[in-house]
Amino acid sequence: MSEHDGNATAEALGIAVAARVPVLLWGAPGTGKTSAIRAMADAMGLPCETVIASIREPSDFAGLPVVAGDSVRFAPPQWARRLAAAGSGVLFLDELSTAPPAVQAALLRVVLERTVGDLTLPPEVAVVAAANPPEQAADGWDLSAPLANRLCHLTWELTPRFIADGLAGGWAAPQVPLLPAGWAAAEQLHKGMVAAFLQVRPALAIAPPPNAAEAGRGWPSPRTWEMAARLMTATDAAKASGQARSALVRGAVGDGAGVEFLAWLVDMDLPDPEEVLADPASFRLPGRGDRAYAALASIAAAVASEPTPQRWAAGWRVLGACAETAPDVAATAARVLARCRPDGTALPAEIKLFAPVLRDAGLLSP
């Protein structure tokens, strides 16, 4: 578990680089984004080519058109040649949000397909970008939606504690985890999870941003969902924290869709109420109080929606089994169950288990 959020962002950055997913750091000027990325490349022992997007022309990314006879070649610039020769490395695109729209358009192929002019960079090259939020850069542009959709967006925020530690003891470079060989094989599992989620929420499969202000951040599309699945696979392979995974998923598909997906994943661990009612002995109470409440409340609600004597009795058996470990949670669900008693059924024995706590809370009518 991370001690502060600054760590989680750095951890997430390391995972995205390890998975070779293009990543963009958003943060105020002067917060050390550039030095963190350079330090990270140094720690990995990889060459780092810094290209400041805002002072470049589109032809620096799309290739310089050179007239050769009756055709035009698109000559790649020197930094691209160096990276291609090294076979691996970090391409760092700084000041992305102050790049004019035409430069952003030229960057589209560089970011995702690693193609510069007529040259294709090796797949081992990691693309990392940094940008200031448009409201903090006087000459800032919002990122265009197509470019935003090709990147995983991470927010670079420093806590005062992190800055104090850094000034005193030097800045720690973000760690890039070593992923075990063949880690990407597990990607199919996470793609399956995303697919299952999108069947429940089809509206989130593609949801272009509704206004210009949100266009510059992550938004759900088939490409970003695939990116999210890849990042989740890498997070698992690196055994990283849940906080980093949350930052990566939300960074890829945007805050709204990301949070819904994460909530759905957490809920997936809850038992299916119908299965529990069919076999009450199989029920295991989740450890965290709110999860326990969610599980028991869903079982009580399932009984209430179709209160047959058999289901009612099964519901009580589940609650009775939890009365000792979680009396308050079980009693809250028991009050729902008590209100939907089918006609002609006898009171179950389990109800006595809840009498003391209900009496203490002043909820037992005499």
Which residues of this chain interact with other proteins, rule CB under 8 A?
Answer: 1, 3, 5, 8, 57-59, 64-68, 72, 100-103, 134-135, 138, 140-142, 211-216, 241-243, 245-247, 259, 262-263, 266, 284-285, 287-290, 292-294, 297, 325-329, 331-332, 335, 357-358, 360-363
Q: Which is nearer to other proteins, 173 or 358 (CB)?
A: 358
Residue 238 beta carbon to other proteins: minimum distance, rounded to whole angstroms:
17
Cα 133 to Cα 20, 35, 141, 214, 263: the distances in Å are 24, 18, 9, 11, 28
- The bridge status of strand 89-94 relative to strand 48-52 is parallel
Q: Which is nearer to other proteins, 67 or 167 (CB)?
A: 67
Residue 291 beta carbon to other proteins: minimum distance, rounded to whole angstroms:
8
Residue 251 beta carbon to other proteins: minimum distance, rounded to whole angstroms:
12
Residue 322 beta carbon to other proteins: minimum distance, rounded to whole angstroms:
9
Residue 35 beta carbon to other proteins: minimum distance, rounded to whole angstroms:
25
- Rounded CA gap, 332 and 335, in Å? 5
Q: Which is nearer to other proteins, 65 or 87 (CB)?
A: 65
Q: Which is nearer to other proteins, 135 or 343 (CB)?
A: 135
Residue 290's contacts (CB-CB under 8 Å, 6 or more residues apart) are none
Q: Which is nearer to other proteins, 28 or 266 (CB)?
A: 266
